[in-house]
Amino acid sequence: MNRDKTLLLIIVREIDFIIGIIANLDEATFLSSEIAQRAAVMTLINIGEKVKDLSVDFKAGHSDIPWKQISGIRDMAAHTYLKLNFSRIWETITVDLPDLKTKISAII
């Protein structure tokens, strides 16, 4: 299995993890749960790290996926945690991550 595919499988596993964590939560509950917020942010950091490890050629060949924004969220989460907008994090994990999983699954 090539390195990029291995990284994609890890990203999908991370997406499944956070979707499982929030499965029984609504946005208000998420916004009041420091544990869920921290789990979400750590997952976004993990996903961003793996995206940064994907080969340049692979990312260029799949330019429909916003790789730079994904790694940018990682940087924000890691460096400015206290300034994060957790409503936006909720949107990311409930809308953007399922879409990302669909796109990555199609590639795999």
CB–CB of 86/30 below 8 Å? Answer: yes
Q: Burial code of 53-71, b = ≥16 C-beta within 10 A, e = fewer?
A: ebeeebbeebeebebeebb
Q: Per the residue annotation, which of 3, 38, 79, 88 is the catalytic one?
A: 79
Q: Which residue has the tokens 């997952």?
A: 43
| 62 counts as catalytic | no
CA distances to 12, 65, 88, 108 from 103, rounded to whole Å, are 10, 8, 21, 9
Q: Per the residue annotation, which of 13, 38, 74, 88 is the catalytic one?
A: 74
CA distances to 3, 15, 79 from 102, rounded to whole Å, are 20, 11, 28
| 38 counts as catalytic | no
Query: Which residues are marked as active site?
Result: 74, 79
